[in-house]
């Protein structure tokens, strides 16, 4: 199986074997180490070879520059917004698959079949282990009782832009601005750093709770971040918040069949395999993500977080509010 590692969209495409009936070309922004076990299992199961082309950035630009001669069959990336961007740029094609439509919840796939989620991560709340709170809504985070007690990374980070966009989709722009202003007033420190820093700062007594992705807890507790991060994880408990009258906001990794895919049938077969019980278990264990297949087992550590009830607003609608979400971050001076 041939891999080509390319760091930008301007690199010259070369070295991919000629297209055949039993192979396909995957362009992915996901780290090769996360997806390779899945691709190896797919090849072992079907005999179809997957040529993986890793692009750290510039995926859309790369495919667009190749035009109708692009060898790309499947485009894999992280963040629903990136998938929506691929669709809006005319780089994908719709797929009709009973397997995908029956396995993946409607909120986690394009209404017209242009992209499908493959794994999920919840935008969660980390709380000090001894804090007397076991459930919380996103709306609650702006309550003045948390003044000076909240940690979060920059509001303009895509993780938070997506959360704010979801808040707009649920509650409207005016309510989102009021909520974001309340969040800012509750900050214990300037918004910034990374999600794992939220756990570190809770352990250090800087804040009592914060907003961060769910899978980082698994990475820290498993020792993959080193002994220091294991200690950070021991200092917190993770809560799956929900919107009032809604569910938990999630973001995804996902994939779309390229518009000019020379091996569309094989690309769809890989998509269908990636949502199978077998593949979803590999996803869950590799990066402590939630499977999109309700019948697939979650990693034991992830299961300790409790049942995940995803919000039902389609992520395409959420992505449509990203620009306004970013503007609100600037308007309230959230990152200042």
Which amino acids are annotated as binding site for Fe cation, given as ranges? Answer: 215-216
Burial class (CB in 10 A: 0-12, 13-18, 19+), 173: middle
Residue 25, CB half-sphere, CA atoms under 13 Å: how many?
24
SS3 19: coil
Q: What distance separates the 2 farthest-apart alpha carbons in the chain?
A: 62
Which stretches within the chain are classed as H helix?
A: 32-46, 59-66, 80-88, 98-103, 158-171, 173-185, 195-203, 215-221, 227-234, 264-274, 277-287, 300-303, 315-319, 322-331
Sequential DSSP letters for 162-184 = HHHHHHHHHH-HHHHHHHHHHHH
Sequential DSSP letters for 105-132 = -GGGB-TTSS-EEEEEEEEEEEEETTSS
Numbered residues of the known binding site: 215-216
């Amino acid at each position: 199986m041939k891999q080509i590692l390319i760091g930008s969209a301007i690199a010259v495409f070369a070295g991919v074997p000629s297209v055949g009936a039993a192979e396909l070309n995957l362009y992915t922004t996901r780290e090769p180490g996360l997806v390779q076990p899945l691709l190896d299992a797919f090849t072992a199961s079907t005999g179809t070879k997957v040529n993986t082309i890793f692009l750290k950035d510039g995926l859309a630009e790369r495919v667009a520059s190749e035009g109708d001669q692009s060898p790309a069959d499947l485009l894999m990336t992280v963040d629903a917004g990136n998938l929506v961007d691929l669709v809006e740029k005319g780089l994908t094609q719709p797929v009709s698959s009973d397997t995908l439509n029956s396995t993946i919840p409607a909120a986690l796939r394009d209404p017209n079949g242009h992209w499908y989620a493959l794994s999920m991560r919840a935008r969660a709340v980390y709380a000090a282990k001894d804090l007397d709170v076991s459930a919380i809504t996103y709306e609650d985070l702006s309550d003045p009782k948390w003044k000076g007690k909240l940690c979060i990374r920059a509001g303009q980070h895509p993780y938070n832009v997506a959360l704010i966009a979801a808040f707009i989709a649920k509650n409207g722009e005016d309510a989102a601005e009021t909520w974001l202003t309340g969040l800012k007033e509750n900050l214990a420190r300037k918004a910034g750093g990374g999600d794992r820093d939220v756990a570190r700062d809770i352990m250090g007594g800087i804040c009592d709770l914060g907003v961060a992705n769910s899978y980082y807890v698994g990475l820290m507790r498993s020792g993959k971040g080193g002994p220091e991060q294991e200690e950070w994880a021991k200092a917190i408990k993770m809560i799956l918040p929900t919107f009032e009258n809604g569910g938990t906001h999630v973001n995804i990794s996902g994939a779309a069949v390229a518009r000019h895919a020379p091996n569309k049938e094989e690309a769809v077969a890989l998509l269908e395999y990636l949502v199978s019980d077998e593949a979803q278990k590999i996803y869950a264990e590799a990066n402590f993500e939630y499977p999109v297949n309700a019948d697939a087992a979650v990693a034991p550590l992830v299961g300790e977080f409790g049942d995940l009830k995803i919000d039902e607003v389609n992520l395409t609608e959420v992505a449509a509010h990203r620009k306004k979400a970013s503007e609100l971050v600037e308007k309230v001076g959230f990152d200042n």
